[in-house]
Amino acid sequence: METKFWDLKKDPHRAIEEAAALIRAGEVVAFPTETVYGLGADGLNGTAVAKVFAAKGRPADNPLILHVSAKEQIRNLTTGLSANAQALIDTFWPGPLTVVVPKAPCVPDETSAGLDTVAVRMPSHPVANAFIAACGCPVAAPSANISGKPSPTNAADVAEDMTGKIAGILDGGSCGIGVESTVVDTTSPVPTILRPGGITREMLESLLGAVEIDPALSGNPAVRPKAPGMKYRHYAPKAPLYIYEGPESAMRLVQAVERAARQGIRTGVLCDDRTEKELQALLGRTGCVAILSWGADKADLAETLYTQLRKFDRFSPSVILGMGVSETGLGLAVMNRMRKAAGFNILLARDGQVTIRSGSGFPDYMLG
Ligand code: AMP
Ligand code: MG
């Protein structure tokens, strides 16, 4: 299939009209949002939605989010909104917040993966908003990556995964937030975060009071996540990724990288700016092939995390060693993505010791 590519800097109005016409014809088009790029189809057309699953290689039991261009459009998609759902919509729409609500019969099983609830969001990105409005239907859209890979935050990353598989790509530049929307289940008595994202836990708590976090997000494989998508390894670079968490993570990471380098292992490193300075001396020496780092601001980290994870694939390290950040603010979403990318292979560095927090198969040089 030929994939049309529209540069929105040129003739945005025409590009959006052409792309919307393809959606109405039951085709799949990628478009920018404020979180990541989405892979859109008419969310009320089961055949069109099936094409999204095929293009991504997405498991059929993982439901899609319906994107709307005005708050009141959610009324047609649900049998009723709880007071919490209404408060969330009034406060955080348009924006990076998805609400899970009881599903109306017009939403096909392909979209909701057979669940009796549906996830809905109104993005704030002007292109997303204009595009959805032009489509004239709710647009079902997961992130525009091949399932399992990091989500795309620019059109080139979309093209890398989707060229030849979908009808078109709307290039609206880089996404500002860089991690996906927060998914909140509003059908339970206490609203529950099913996926942390652009709207932080603190923001939700200040509006609603108590908010729960789905216990499955801790990575315990015995607990089944309420958002089906959260059970898959995800956001993963090709090389295995291992993470140190805890107050001594930076020191332990540096030691492990030094040991790996001595053994001649091609190592990638994911760390903060301060740790990068310590490691600079190793870069270029046998073993250490790439150091991708972030500054003090977690908003920066969220914005660039997926680009960083994708970059590692270009250096083909045989292993990637990383360190965590604190889970306040956007840190909760960032750590959720990092732990998933690492397949929950996580070490805890504190009190002068390294212990296994979860996972297995750690290389010796990480544990020493
Ligand atoms: P993505 O489309 O890749 O941004 O992922 C959407 C996320 O929302 C996945 O983790 C889905 O499993 C989750 N999700 C979508 N619809 C529902 C629903 N009705 N109930 C619970 N989780 C949902
Ligand atoms: Mg996704």
CA dihedral 280, 284, 287, 293 (to 10 degrees): 40
Residue 333 CB–ligand 1 contact under 6 Å: no
Please list the residues that pair with 268 across neighbouring strands.
290, 320
C-alpha separations of 105 from 34, 77, 102, 214, 263 in Å: 29, 8, 10, 27, 60
The answer for residues whose C-beta is within 8 angstroms of residue 206's C-beta and 6 or more apart is none
Residue closest by Cα to atom 13 of ligand 1: 227
> What is the 55 CA–ligand 2 centroid distance (Å)?
13
Distance CA 205, CA 11 (A): 42
Residue 112 CB–ligand 1 contact under 6 Å: yes
Q: Which atom of ligand 1 is nearest to the CA of 195?
A: 10
* Pocket-testing residue among 194, 230, 340, ligand 1, by greatest number of atoms within 8 A of Cβ: 194
- 187-200 average pLDDT score: 95
Residue 143 CB–ligand 1 contact under 6 Å: yes
Task: Give the residue carrying structure tokens 């595009």.
Answer: 131
Residue 117 CB–ligand 1 contact under 6 Å: yes
Q: How many CA atoms lie within 13 A of 228 on its CB side?
A: 16
Retrieve residue 99's tokens.
Answer: 């609400």
Residue 119 CB–ligand 1 contact under 6 Å: yes
pTM: 0.90
Residue 115 CB–ligand 1 contact under 6 Å: yes
Residue 225 CB–ligand 1 contact under 6 Å: no
Residue closest by Cα to atom 8 of ligand 1: 227
* Pocket-testing residue among 143, 183, 184, 217, ligand 1, by greatest number of atoms within 8 A of Cβ: 183
- 181 band by pLDDT with thresholds 50, 70 and 90: very high
Q: For 122-172, what is each residue's pLDDT tens digit? A: 999 999 999 999 999 999 999 999 998 889 999 999 999 999 999 999 999
Q: For 251-279, what is each residue's pLDDT tens digit? A: 999 999 989 988 989 889 999 888 888 88
Residue closest by Cα to atom 20 of ligand 1: 227
Residue closest by Cα to atom 4 of ligand 1: 142
Residue 192's SS3 state is: strand
> What is the 151 CA–ligand 2 centroid distance (Å)?
6
Q: Which atom of ligand 1 is nearest to the CA of 115?
A: 19
Q: For 319-348, what is each residue's pLDDT tens digit? A: 999 999 989 888 999 999 999 999 999 999
| C-alpha closest to that of 150 among 355, 29, 305, 339 | 305
Q: Which atom of ligand 1 is nearest to the CA of 103?
A: 19
Give the per-residue pLDDT at 301.
83
Residue 40 CB–ligand 1 contact under 6 Å: no
Per-residue b/e over 281-314, b at no fewer than 16 CB within 10 Å?
ebeeeebbbbbbbbeeebeebbbbbbbbbbebbe
Q: Is 168 left (phi over 0), alpha (psi -120 to 50) or beta?
A: beta
Give the per-residue pLDDT at 70.
98
Distance CA 1, CA 83 (A): 45
Distance CA 286, CA 139 (A): 49
C-alpha separations of 143 from 22, 123, 235 in Å: 19, 13, 11
The overall average pLDDT reported for the chain is 92
- 286 band by pLDDT with thresholds 50, 70 and 90: very low
> What is the 54 CA–ligand 2 centroid distance (Å)?
14
| C-alpha closest to that of 241 among 329, 150, 116, 118 | 150
The answer for residues whose C-beta is within 8 angstroms of residue 296's C-beta and 6 or more apart is 272, 273
Give the per-residue pLDDT at 228.
86
The answer for residues whose C-beta is within 8 angstroms of residue 107's C-beta and 6 or more apart is 43, 44, 66, 77, 118
Q: What residue type is 359 in one-letter code?
A: G
Edge-first strand listing for the sheet containing 97-102: 4-7, 168-171, 29-31, 38-42, 139-140, 65-67, 117-121, 97-102, 182-185, 192-195, 212-213
The answer for residues whose C-beta is within 8 angstroms of residue 302's C-beta and 6 or more apart is 177, 178, 179, 198, 330, 333, 334
Give the per-residue pLDDT at 285.
58
Distance CA 48, CA 55 (A): 11
Please list the residues that pair with 41 across neighbouring strands.
140
Q: For 66-87, what is each residue's pLDDT tens digit? A: 999 999 999 999 999 999 999 9
> What is the 247 CA–ligand 2 centroid distance (Å)?
30
